[in-house]
Amino acid sequence: MTNVDEDNPIPNRKTFSSAPNDFLLNFKNPCWWQPYDRSAGSGGGGKNPYIANVYYVLSVHLRPFFRQLFQTFDRHLLQQGKHLYRMRCLPYFYIIGQPKCGTTDLYERLKMHPEVTFAIRKEPHWWSRNQYGYVNKHDLPNMQYKCTFEDYLDLFDNATRRIKDTFTEENGYTYHRIINGEASASTMWDNNAWETAFGNTSNGEPPFLVQDFIHAVQPEAKLIVMLRNPTERLYSDYLYFMETNKSAEAFHEKVVESVELFLACAQSISFRACLYNYDLSLAMPVRLRIGFYVVYLLEWLSVFRQDQILILKLEDHARHPSVTMEKVFSFLGLGAVPKHIEAAMFASPPYNSRRLSDKILGPMLPATRLILNAVYAPFNKKLAELQNDNSFLWEN
C-alpha cells in the first residue's frame, strides 16, 4: 500500500476516499452522508455491516458493543427515494498524547460532559498503527489484519447515532452541539509503521507522519496534548509496561543503555532519523524517545495551527483538575456542565494512577534522575520557549 501521490508532495486521500472534502454544515462534528447498499453490507459481510470489521474480529471485548450497534443500525440510515444513506462521523477532537501523562484521567472526566461522546474503544490507535495492520502492544503491524478507514469509522457509530438524533434550535436554525472524540495516546509520537507505508528513504527519515494524514482529511481538527515531567514519565512508563523484575536499580541500567544507544545513533545519522527508527526503538529497553515532546509538537505545528492544539501539564491537572477541565471545555466550545455532573466529575480519585505494587518500589535512583534530567533539559528548554512558559522546564 502507498499513501503517496508521486506528483503531489502530500499524502493523498486514497486511503480515506469515503470521506468528503466538506462536512455537514449544521453539525459541529465532522459528519457526512455515505451511500449505503443494505444487500452488500460492509467489507463483504452481508447485511451485518460489522461482521468483517477487524476490531470486531480480533477484540473479544468489543464484540458485545458491535452486536448492540447492529441492533440499532437502522438509526444511522436515511431513505431518500430509492437510495439509502448512512451517517458517518470522524472525531471532532483527538487526545493525542502522551502515555503515562494523565490522558486516561482526562478522558474519563471529559466523557461525563453531556455534549461529549467517544468511540467504543478508548484507544483505536488507527492513525498511528492499525491502518497498517492490527497491533498488539508495541509490535509491528500484522499486515494480515489491516484496519480500513471504514473499520475505524465503525467505532464511532454509537456516537454518530447520538449526533444524528440530537439537535438544538439556535437563532432560528437547526444546529448540533454533540461532539465525539478519541484518545489514542500513540497518535502524537508513534510512527513506527512509516516504512510499511513508504519504504525506506535515502536519509532514513519518514516523508510523512501521522499528523499529515489527519490534516489531509480533517484540516480543522482539534488536538489535546497532556504532558508531564519527561523524567517522571519515563519511570512511570517503565513501571506500568514492564511486567516482571522491576526495580529502581534495573530501571537505572535500562536508562543508561537506552541513552548510550540513542546518542550513538545521533552521532551517525540525524536526530530525526533516530527518533523515528523502529529498530532503535526496539533495541532501547525503555521508551526514552517519547519524552522529546517539543520535537513532536513542532512536527504537528508544521501542519496544524497553534490554536488547534491545547497543551496541558499533568502536574497542573493533578493539583487543580477543575481548572484543567475548564480549559478543555473552552477549547472544545462546550457548554456549562450541570452542577450534579460537575460534582461527580471531580469526586473521583485520579484514574489509572500508579499501582500499589509499583509504589512499593519507591522512586528512581538520584543518579538515574540526573542522567534523564540532563538528556531532556535542552528539549524542555525549547518547549518552554515555544509555550512562553518556564514551568515546562520542570526544574522544581
> Residue-wise over 287-315: b if at least 16 C-beta within 10 A, else e?
bbbbbbbbbbbebbeebbeeebbbbbbbb
Question: pLDDT tens digits for 128-169?
Answer: 989 888 766 555 556 678 889 999 999 999 999 888 888 766
Nearest to 228 by CA among 362, 366, 359, 99: 99
The answer to whether residues 94 and 214 touch, using CB atoms and an 8 Å cutoff, is yes
Query: Is the pLDDT at 2 greater than 50, yes or no?
Result: no
The answer to whether residues 181 and 94 touch, using CB atoms and an 8 Å cutoff, is yes
Tell me which DSSP letter residue 174 carries. E
pLDDT band at 173 (very low <50, low <70, confident <90, very high): low
Report pLDDT for 45. 42
- Within 8 A by CB and 6+ apart from 354, the residues are 236, 239, 240
Nearest to 241 by CA among 139, 137, 124: 137
pLDDT band at 43 (very low <50, low <70, confident <90, very high): very low
In the chain, the amino acid numbered 393 is L
Report pLDDT for 177. 81
Report pLDDT for 132. 86
pLDDT band at 9 (very low <50, low <70, confident <90, very high): very low
Report pLDDT for 95. 98
Mean pLDDT to the nearest integer, 28-39: 88
The answer to whether residues 199 and 139 touch, using CB atoms and an 8 Å cutoff, is no
- Sign of the dihedral through C-alpha 261, 267, 268, 271: positive
Cell readout for 117 is 461522546
Rounded to whole angstroms, how far apart are CA atoms 119 and 123?
Answer: 8
Tell me which DSSP letter residue 27 carries. B
The answer to whether residues 4 and 207 touch, using CB atoms and an 8 Å cutoff, is yes
Report pLDDT for 25. 83
Report pLDDT for 288. 97
Mean pLDDT to the nearest integer, 198-219: 90
Mean pLDDT to the nearest integer, 272-279: 94
Query: Is the pLDDT at 367 greater than 90, yes or no?
Result: yes
Q: What percent of the chain has pLDDT over 90?
A: 64
Report pLDDT for 253. 97
Q: What percent of the chain has pLDDT over 70?
A: 88
Report pLDDT for 350. 78
Report pLDDT for 142. 67
Report pLDDT for 3. 41
Q: pLDDT averaged over the chain? A: 88
pTM over 0.85: yes
Rounded to whole angstroms, how far apart are CA atoms 295 and 304?
Answer: 14
pLDDT band at 199 (very low <50, low <70, confident <90, very high): confident
Mean pLDDT to the nearest integer, 240-269: 93
Report pLDDT for 164. 84
Question: pLDDT tens digits for 314-363?
Answer: 999 999 999 999 999 999 999 889 999 999 998 877 776 666 666 777 89
Report pLDDT for 91. 97
The answer to whether residues 43 and 149 touch, using CB atoms and an 8 Å cutoff, is no
pLDDT band at 195 (very low <50, low <70, confident <90, very high): confident
Cite the DSSP H helix spans in the chain.
Answer: 54-58, 63-71, 103-110, 149-154, 157-165, 194-198, 210-217, 230-241, 248-268, 271-275, 278-283, 293-301, 314-319, 321-332, 339-345, 356-359, 366-387
Tell me which of 377 and 352 has the higher pLDDT: 377
pLDDT band at 41 (very low <50, low <70, confident <90, very high): low
Report pLDDT for 1. 30
Rounded to whole angstroms, how far apart are CA atoms 33 and 84?
Answer: 9
Question: pLDDT tens digits for 13-27?
Answer: 567 778 888 898 888
Cell readout for 5 is 501521490
pLDDT band at 383 (very low <50, low <70, confident <90, very high): very high
Cell readout for 327 is 480549559
For residue 317, report the phi and psi dihedrals to the nearest 5 degrees: -65, -40
The answer to whether residues 108 and 348 touch, using CB atoms and an 8 Å cutoff, is yes
Report pLDDT for 98. 96
Tell me which of 58 and 312 has the higher pLDDT: 312
pLDDT band at 126 (very low <50, low <70, confident <90, very high): very high
Query: Is the pLDDT at 280 greater than 60, yes or no?
Result: yes
Query: Is the pLDDT at 378 greater than 60, yes or no?
Result: yes
| Helix (H) and strand (E) counts in the chain | 17, 12
